[in-house]
Structure 1
Amino acid sequence: MRIGLTGRPASTDQLVEQAKAAEEAGFSSVWYDSTVLGDPLAAMAVAGRETTSIELGTAILQTYPCHPLLQANRAAATAEAMGRPGFTLGLGPSHEPLVSGMYGLSYEHPGRNTEEYLRILTGLLRGEKVTYEGEDWTTRGARVRTAHPVPVLLAALGSRLLRVAGAFADGAVLFMASAKAIETHIAPKLHAAASAAGRPEPRIVAQLPIAVHDNVDEARQATAKTAGVYESLPNYRRIMDIGGARTPADAAILGDEESVTRQLQSLLDAGATDIQAFVVPVGEDRNKSRQRTTDLLASLTG
């Protein structure tokens, strides 16, 4: 299994140590969201120099507050600073409460906005000279220098963004999508879009809360405390409904080692190519709980 971890370090030193430890344990990747250290890219570049092969990715950076030309330059600069291939840019349009509520930007056309964004960004990261006049995004005669390839994954859960991901990106990065949602909704739409665009078979990176714990009810309660906020966001609510999950705890991977292994395999059988583990500590000894989950995941990598 290709299994990666969700990184939430409190400092650059901690991010570097986490990446080194994950590589040593055999994990395929570590992923960082836009809130890590205010912006994770500088610290990821440092970690890239301290590791040799592990993939370091963003899951996700927001599109709206950053022009696609600037975003492409940031991604290319991070890959160059790492000094090796292995940086993956995961991005998405985020959510209306953040984009409109915090940034004061319009969120009226997230599908159109994201499609225009990807058209510009992916062309630039392929080394093309891009001129594009859109309703939301424009660039004229832009070009970005790329020292290493930068794969792009789109946070795509709905039908339109799955089409955009298949047509322009290298795949999709998911959250709260169960095996059922991947098999019946995500994979068919993403593969159809990639095929129609003549694109290679896309990656599907499935991120879910995961806890190895003997008391499933206790693990569900811990998941509700850790991930319950996502239940109120419409994008996650819809994908949970598609997957038959009432709450994030229903979508989570919970149970003992045998049960969790079986559930992880079901994600791959449904069409996921990678698993991104959002490890949920359970019980009084959080470190011991976290280590038990991480140990199982490490034993399954490869």
Structure 2
Amino acid sequence: MRYSLLFPLAPARPEQAVPFANLVRWTGAHRLWQGQTMTIEAHQLITWLAGIGIRVPAGFGVSLMPFRSPYQAALDARSVAISTGQPVLAGFGPGEPVVQESMLGSRYSSPLRASEEYVRIVRGLLSGQPTEVGGEHYSTYARLGPCPSAPVSVGLGVLREKMAVLAGEVADAAITWLGSASYLDRILLPAMRAAPDRALPEPVRVTAFVPVALAGVDRDVTDLAAASCGAHLRAPHYQDALRRSGIELSGDGSDFGKLVDAGVFLYGTAADIHERLDEYRTIGVDEIVLNVSGVAKTLGFRAAIGDLEEILAECPNTHLHPMPRSLR
């Protein structure tokens, strides 16, 4: 199992990404991930890093489909692979209905069908072959101009069982969020593996985003969990996914304690956190993305970097070389 890290906040300046990208360079961390941001566009940030000499494997997940056409999505992902010379994993999801209405003028009649069409188009274009898809939500007859690049994989954001089945059919990777190892083991992984019409020769890989924070005398686990997960707990599709995992939300501060108890938000010493992360390895997860957004929001970037350094130092197959302060 590989360990990656998430750039934990929407950047106000590109320089803020430098210490996190350097952690990927200076450790055995696999990839630098970014979520959907509304400040500096994620692909441009990775390309900026490459321009100053920091070229690292990148993950985008999940990028919301309504913000760009499948052709533009494929072109952007491949552009990063060309600019960096490093592999890219581009993950996509349909977003909330309000996002669909704001960007497209109406909701998807079927988010599953829209996601299938989108991923098939992006994967087809990245293959370099003429791609013809006539769908209800997305259609294309196009081809990307030929150009050598590092590999680009296509992922699909997965919260619930039906999207897990779809990822098992059409995606290179399934990307989970706020899913405990138990929920993945009982619900999501069996759905992916039982997908009836796998279109790819290799089985779907699984990338799990896991919110984490080290314990400390000046830290409150409820504050950290709220900062990391609070916005997602207000979204109906996340609430439904957590209910399916056995977490009954009450809408008050006790919900964050439930995330800790259920192994959704991991808090404790580095050893404690690795004990829970090992549950993901045992069930066959391929990549863990360490999400320290709660630490970054409450205590700042330097504290977030410190947590990542300490956790990565104890990861199997990672070798932490202390970063010069000039690189932090």
TM above 0.5, yes or no, is yes
Contact 2:270-2:311 within 8 A present in 1 as well: no
- Measured in 1, the distance between the counterparts of 2:39 and 2:225 equals 24
> 253, 257, 281: which is aligned to 2:295?
281
Change (3 A) 1:126 1:262: same
**Could you report, residue by residue, the CA deviation over 1:12-70 in whole angstroms, capped at 9, with x for unpaired residues?**
23324421233213311111122163311112123245235x42111121112322112
CA distance in 2, matches of 1:238, 1:199: 32
The aligned counterpart of 2:86 is 85
Q: Following the alignment from structure 1 to structure 2, what is the Cα–Cα distance between the partners of residues 191 and 221?
A: 37
Which structure 1 segments of 5+ residues have no match?
A: none
Question: Which of the residues 155, 163, 166 maps onto 2:165?
Answer: 163
Aligned residue number for residue 97 of structure 1: 98
TM-score after normalising by structure 2:
0.82
Match of 1:259 among 269, 272, 285: 272
**Residue 38 of structure 1: SS of its match in structure 2?**
coil
SS in 2 for 1:281: helix
Select between 217-226 and 285-294 the one with higher mean Cα deviation.
Answer: 285-294
The within-5 A match list for 1:1-302 is 1-7=1-7, 8=9, 9-35=11-37, 37-48=39-50, 50-52=53-55, 54-82=56-84, 84-101=85-102, 104-148=105-149, 149-193=151-195, 196-214=198-216, 218-245=220-247, 246=249, 247=255, 249=257, 250=259, 251-279=264-292, 280-281=294-295, 289-299=303-313, 300-302=315-317
> Are 2:170 and 2:198, in contact at CA under 8 Å, matched by a contact in 1?
no
Using the TM superposition, name which of 87-96 and 169-178 deviates more.
87-96
In 1, the alpha carbon distance for the partners of 2:296 and 2:46 equals 28
Q: Distance in 1 between matches of 2:61 and 2:139?
A: 25
The answer to whether the 8 A contact 1:231-1:248 is kept is no
Take 2:204 and 2:115, find their aligned partners in 1: how far apart are those partners? 18
Whether the 8 Å CA contact 1:73–1:144 is kept in 2: the answer is no
Return the offset for 1:226: 3.4
Instruction: Deviation per CA, 1:230-280: give whole Å up to 9, x if none.
Output: 112122112222333344551201122222111111122233211111113
Q: Which runs of 4+ in 1 moved over 4 A?
A: 214-217, 282-289
Check whether the contact 2:89–2:154 (CA below 8 A) recurs between aligned residues.
yes
Structure 2: stretches of 5+ with no match in the other structure? 250-254, 318-328
Q: Distance in 1 between matches of 2:296 and 2:126?
A: 41
Q: SS of the counterpart of 2:32?
A: strand
Partner SS for 2:201: coil
Deviation at 1:182, TM superposition (A): 0.7
Q: How many residues align?
A: 300
Stretch moving more, 178-187 or 191-200 = 191-200
* 2:57 counterpart letter in structure 1: E
Cα deviations across residues 97-118 of structure 1 (Å, max 9, x unaligned)?
A: 3222566432331111111111
Which stretch of structure 1 is more off in the superposition, 200-209 or 242-251? 242-251
After alignment, is 282-291 or 121-130 more displaced? 282-291
Identity of aligned residues (%): 22
CA distance in 2, matches of 1:287, 1:138: 42
Could you say if the C-alpha distance between residues 182 and 297 of structure 1 is closer, same or farther in structure 2, counting changes exceeding 3 Å? same
Instruction: State TM-score, norm by structure 1.
Output: 0.88
2:167 and 2:174 in contact (8 A); partners too:
yes
CA distance in 2, matches of 1:283, 1:97: 25
Q: Equivalents in 2 of 1:215, 1:172: separation in Å?
A: 36
Question: Equivalents in 1 of 2:297, 2:240: separation in Å?
Answer: 30
Matched position secondary structure for 1:205: strand
